[in-house]
Structure 1
């Protein structure tokens, strides 16, 4: 029997559970009762509150910049911290690899997926913490412009000489003349192709899978897929047309493995020794679509598990205006470190991130990392702490090593990764693992919310303002009575619909605010 949650308007705002029949009886006994519609609650299986972000675990330079800016910008702390860490990843990812042991070696790049609604000032935070890297990109491009123009001219001359030799060989083939000399000249010329200096392109937003792949294969070997409106990327033609291929590319880049693109009409290319940071901030609805089983990015692909996820609580309603500080010295220090790290990557070439130094953990740091590894593994047992997020837990230890390496690099340390950086990385990755468990619904809950979303989409698409339970079962995507009842219950609980009595009929009314004006 379908059970609905009905709020009673009393001083204590108490609530009681009622069946459909009980709800009908109450309406019948109060025929003149008028219930005003409230704001619909977004459909989300995320019920538990988020844990406080471990800001004290951030490196001193990063922590001070994050805390100082948060006092002015008043965005959720995890949102700001993830933006700062993503820029740290971008600035350091071409400087080293990290080794967990002699066989487990990986890049230090990180992927972030942040859910944040409209009005949370996520764009402002992103602009602040990416300012230094964007400025560095512009500065280097301007500095190299004369050299690039000269190289392009030399390449045009080289191309004309090559075309001329091809023409001579072609003409000699038709006339029967000797072309050996022209062939020798061409063979020598082929190995003298002028190299055009690379210009850094660090940020990609509205990029198709192919555009990103081509740039990484032929352009600057260290970049980021970065957007404060991830719907632009996740709704792109390449993602909709072939999501599996796009996800495969992102997975290979995170792993630091070679990716070969084969084409039907033109020559293929290979992506090798490249590094990518990912920082996507999205509306909560987009995150929900990602977690739906029917989505192109399924959990089975392994993409979401590679990401550090966060869904910070909304701070709107408490962000009263205050004048900005005259200066934020801590932010200046952060920007100086970003610039210094990027300067070390200025000599990157077409060969990519090759012969990178290999960072290892000190013995004490390795012991702490092993304890964390084993603790997470123990939580994968039946009824264990991480049994609902096995995929995320399986990547936690590797993400910890990557983050510890980034702390080491960003602070300009030498030698092995220390125990302090490792312990701090464990604390932050543990927080993200808790977030994944809070955000990602279990399979049963996910299906129930997916069904509720399907039903709500049907109401909106068909412009159905009022209908019956029987009509829903006959015409909606949910023909199964149990699924229908579960979906209706969720929609009532979230103020998306309500059950009302109309004559002898029990009607389902849809909240008018759910329809776009």
Structure 2
């Protein structure tokens, strides 16, 4: 099995890995973010699933807080973290058992005995005492797990004390029996009686292996006594267990103490609700659902840049989206001076980007720029020092000369010009003047306090219209004009470039994003957006220095090498297309066009959508250039498309131009109202195809309906299920039963 470019089990133990994983989940998993976990307080461990030789296949991080837990399968590859199981890595499509290398019968103690429990935490609790233990993970995952490594072993089943555990044990014991595997089960009902006798309390529902060991520790037992008690627990062989499950037993004593949690439920939907609590989770208020960041597509970036983003997020303790926009801002600042971007087959545009990211005071904006723009800052500093030395030398040469000599000297020696081209303050007018004065050909307005621009004189004074127009012109045409009130006889500069990287607090961004002038004159529609979650309160103190990080050192060196090259000005190279990449871009153009039609996802955002393809070609150009390619390939444009789609989703999410009730809320009201119709697939169940016919017309559009369903699913209001059928798989929307118990 190919294990190259994968994490190892050892990697899972490093703090660096855990921090990167936490940052990824905060940025990409809505349920995880909604539970407000703190890494230091709520991280419980990572469970590794490997092949028989110990090579990591996937893992399950575990977080727990106030009775809520989050544990899902994940894996990592060249493009980063992914939630889900890497089925391509499984043999015959079957998941491996947990602790699979321990099940090698050549190395197991004889006779080969394995405890099979519900969940990794319980398996670890036993293996910590040298007892071989395994699990399939969730109680519902038996059918998808390869159980054949258990053949030739004697298996002891130890279920949780609840109905789900009883069902799990019955199914598993039957499957193992059919495989010819010898099976015993821990008699949990008898254990419950002993628990009551020793504590005068009822054994809690869900009581498991881990809980049992904790009780023994609290009673003062050492490891040797705990092992003896585990090995001496009452057991039933398979035949006795199945007879007992069928009702041939005397459980009256326990029943008189407490209604047995293993009794089969006779309730209908109410009982099912209790069973399905893990499936559904708590309802998340709509305000919280609507404000969850769009999952950030780290895999959109070339591998080297993706690693830089991860390292920046780690050292800066910032979301991936903030780190990625920092990287985009840096490569735009540098790359705009060397390369122009093709717009489909219709000429060329500057490769410059306009970026806006939200970040509150102290959220890591400044640290992000320090890391991603370090090479640029170092270059600016050195260039300024050289300029000052040349200026002093020039002034010294001028001193003592006669007027005639001074004139002759000036004609032969131009006054040195300040070469700095990255600005964190000042007006748009001043930056444009630097272009027209010939101080620089390429510049960036990189600012971590965006209110200085958004609420400053440039965009608020009587020259605001001219400032906005100037920003739009230089973005689209590479032309800069000195801004005056009348703009009459203004000086101009051509073939110049400007990158805008603006980080701002919500109090500054919110009014700007709803400013008619900024929208209608086209400045905001040219921008890419990110509104990441606020990491304050969940960050960890990072004592390592980014200065010594090899990934960042390589990135800074590459940036420095580019900055050391002479500027090309009007002779910038023109990036080419590989034919398959151009076909993808053209197809994307058509898709964006359709999205702006009535009922389309971008119907109300046409100004923004109309810039999506252009921004995608600019990003793809920068990716190709930074890799050293002469043409945009498929990976470049596909990654760029992911980023502009992310930005567009963020812009829609943030907009205040919404109705008092969202599409998702209207859909939920309709589902509840129509939950009991006999045409449904059971109470509270709907076929997706039927919804498209029955819903109000403005909710039927595929993109509108899918987005509304996604919001409801994120909030645990509905569950989306694919149901196999005679002809094809049907999609079923299942309403959370708690919504039907009025």
Using the alignment, how far apart are the partners of 2:424 and 2:295 within structure 1? 30
RCO comparison, higher one (Cα < 8 Å, 6+): 1
CA apart distance, 1:59: 1.8
* Partner residue in 2 for 1:442: 657
User: Secondary structure of the residue that 1:388 maps to in structure 2?
Assistant: coil
Which region of structure 1 is more displaced relative to structure 2, 149-158 or 95-104?
Answer: 149-158
Pair 1:304 & 2:524 matched: yes
Report the count of equivalent residues: 372
CA offset at residue 338 of structure 1? 1.4
Aligned: 1:60 with 2:300: no
Q: Select 2:326's aligned residue among 83, 88, 96.
A: 83
Is the aligned partner of 1:135 residue 2:378? yes
CA contact (8 A) 2:466 2:483 kept: no
2:138 counterpart residue number: none
TM-score (norm 1): 0.66
Residue 246, structure 1, aligned to residue 467, structure 2: yes
Q: Choose 266-275 or 282-291, whichever is displaced more.
A: 266-275
Residue number among 110, 122, 127 corresponding to 2:353 in the alignment: 110
Partner of 1:377: 593
Structure 2 counterpart of 1:398, from 614, 617, 638 = 614
The structure 2 residue matched to 1:74, chosen from 301, 305, 317, is: 317
Give the gaps of 5 or more residues in structure 1: 1-43, 165-188, 447-517
Structure-2 residue corresponding to 1:423: 638
Structure 2 match to 1:289: 511
- Return closer, same or farther for 1:74/1:158 CA change in 2, 3 Å cut-off: same
List per-residue Cα deviations over 1:247-279 (Å, max 9, x = no partner).
111111111343433757997421222111101
Q: Following the alignment from structure 2 to structure 1, what is the Cα–Cα distance between the partners of residues 498 and 386?
A: 24
Q: Distance in 2 between matches of 1:265 and 1:310?
A: 34
Give SS of 1:225's match: strand
Q: Report the equivalent of 1:169.
A: none
C-alpha contact (below 8 Å) 1:216/1:271 kept by paired residues? yes
1:97 aligns with 2:370: no
Cα distance in structure 2, aligned partners of 1:356 and 1:125: 29
CA–CA distance in structure 2, aligned partners of residues 265 and 55 of structure 1: 43
2:568 pairs with 1:341: no
SS in 1 for 2:290: coil
The question of whether the paired residues in 2 share the 8 Å contact of 1:251 and 1:303 is answered with yes
- Residues 445, 137 of structure 1: alpha-carbon distance in 2 compared, 3 angstrom cutoff: farther
Once the two structures are superposed, residues 69-90 of structure 1 have per-residue CA deviations (whole angstroms, 9 ceiling, x without a partner) of 3234321110111011101100
Q: For the residues of structure 2 that align with 1:307 and 1:276, how far apart are their CA atoms? A: 13
**Does the Cα contact within 8 Å between 1:133 and 1:338 map onto a contact in 2?**
yes
Does the 8 A contact of 1:227 with 1:279 survive in 2? Answer: yes
Q: Could you list the per-position Cα deviations for residues 412-461 of structure 1 after superposition, in whole angstroms to 9, with x for gaps in the alignment? A: 22x22222211111111111111111122326669xxxxxxxxxxxxxxx
CA gap of 1:158–1:354, structure 2 versus 1, over 3 A, is: farther
Structure ID, larger Rg: 2
* Corresponding position of 1:269: 491
Q: Measure, in 2, the Cα distance between the counterparts of 1:270 and 1:158.
A: 34
Shift, 1:49, TM fit: 1.9
Secondary structure of the equivalent of 1:309? Answer: strand
Provide the alpha-carbon RMSD of the alignment: 3.1
Tell me the secondary structure at the aligned position of residue 481 of structure 2.
strand
CA distance in 2, matches of 1:301, 1:158: 52
Sort the Cα spacing of 1:385 and 1:196 in 2 relative to 1 into closer, same or farther, 3 A.
same
Closer, same or farther: CA 299–323 of 1 in aligned 2, 3 Å: same
Range moving further from structure 2, 432-441 or 373-382: 432-441
Given that residues 158 and 193 in structure 1 are in contact (C-alpha distance below 8 angstroms), is that contact kept between their aligned partners in structure 2?
A: no
CA-CA distance at 1:302 after TM superposition: 0.6
Deviation string, structure 1 residues 95-127 (Cα, Å, up to 9, x no partner): 011222454310000010111222312211121
Q: CA deviation at 1:334?
A: 1.4
On the 8 A contact 2:436/2:480 being kept in 1, the answer is no
Which residue number in structure 1 is paired with residue 432 of structure 2? 213
How far does the alpha carbon of each residue in 1:374-400 deviate from its partner, in whole angstroms, 9 at most, with x for none? 111110100001112211110010001
Pair 347,108 (structure 1): closer, same or farther in 2 beyond 3 Å: closer
Q: TM-score, normalised by structure 2?
A: 0.47
C-alpha distance in structure 2 between counterparts of 1:310 and 1:231, whole Å: 16
CA contact (8 A) 2:356 2:529 kept: yes
Instruction: State the partner residue of 2:537.
Output: 317
Q: Secondary structure at the match of 1:386?
A: coil
* Contact 2:383/2:420, CA 8 A, preserved across alignment: no
CA separation in 1, counterparts of 2:561 and 2:654? 36
Rounded to whole Å, the distance in 2 between the matches of 1:310 and 1:422 is 20
> Any idea what SS the aligned residue of 1:354 has?
helix
Aligned to 2:362: 119
Determine the C-alpha separation between the residues in 1 that align with 2:585 and 2:401. 54
CA distance in 2, matches of 1:217, 1:52: 41
